[in-house]
Amino acid sequence: MRKHSLRHFCLALLLAVGLVLGSSLPTFAAPITYMEQAIGSGSLDGSSFFDRLVTITFVGDTSTVTGSAGFFTNSVGTATVSVAGVGSDTLTNAFVFVNQGWTPAAAVGFGDNMAGGSILDTLHSAFASYDLTTAIGPQTGSTFYRNDLTFATGSGTFHLDLAGDSTFTATTVPLPSALLLLGPGLVGLIGIRKRLQK
């Protein structure tokens, strides 16, 4: 009986230590997904569209955010553009950025390294202190885009002629927190399995 109680005590102690250590670890990096949506008109890979939902998504990591003095970028990741009813493709030179000092309101959105300009940006005062490393939104604001530029895709080009107000959202899953949730779940599954084997 004592051996059985000691095993439970050790298991509980180990779990408690793991929870304390895991919750005190700082979250240095996390997967992050940035997404911007607007109703727009233009063309994707040779197919014209009018008043369709345009979604640009960039999947990266918070550890690759660079910049300072109110201008931050994340260019390590995968960017895609999707147009409802038309299709989707990879944006080959895209990055996500925030310009905290843009006027009339701070701007966050997607740019293109080779074309040298904005693909689609959302203007909103909520971005005045945002640095691309945390979740935010959805925030809707007026739109800025460069209709004089065309942006390279995996199968052609993307061009935006017109766009209405846009909405920007960033979502993260901090890895230490995710791992912290995994531990107790595994312990519970092991306990259930052992009870079923008896």
**What residue has token string 């009813």?**
85
Is 17 found in the same domain as 35? no
Is 6 found in the same domain as 69? no
More confident of the two residues 97 and 26: 97
pLDDT band at residue 185, thresholds of 50, 70 and 90? Answer: low
Is 187 found in the same domain as 111? no
Is 91 found in the same domain as 58? yes
pLDDT band at residue 165, thresholds of 50, 70 and 90? Answer: very high
Region 167-188: mean pLDDT is 70
**Structurally, how many domains does the chain consist of?**
2
Q: What is the pTM (predicted TM-score) of this model?
A: 0.76
Is 138 found in the same domain as 42? yes
Is 183 found in the same domain as 168? no
Is 75 found in the same domain as 102? yes
- Residue 23 pLDDT more than 50? no
Is 21 found in the same domain as 53? no
- Look at residue 26 in the predicted model and tell me its pLDDT: 44
Q: In terms of residue numbers, what domain contains 150?
A: 31-173
Is 119 found in the same domain as 193? no
- Look at residue 173 in the predicted model and tell me its pLDDT: 75
Is 85 found in the same domain as 55? yes
Is 129 found in the same domain as 187? no
And the tokens for 35?
Answer: 């997404």
Report phi then psi at 22, rounded to 5: -65, -35
Is 188 found in the same domain as 169? no
CA angle 126, 130, 136 (to 5 degrees): 70
**9 exposure class (CB count in 10 Å sphere: 0-12, 13-18, 19+):** exposed
pLDDT in tens, 90-121: 999 999 999 999 999 999 999 999 999 999 99
pLDDT in tens, 39-82: 999 999 999 999 999 999 999 999 999 998 899 999 999 999 99
Report the distance separating Cα 51 and Cα 56, nearest Å. 15
In 3D space, the residue among 53, 77, 74, 90 whose CA is nearest the CA of residue 164 turns out to be: 53
pLDDT in tens, 132-158: 999 999 999 999 999 999 999 999 999
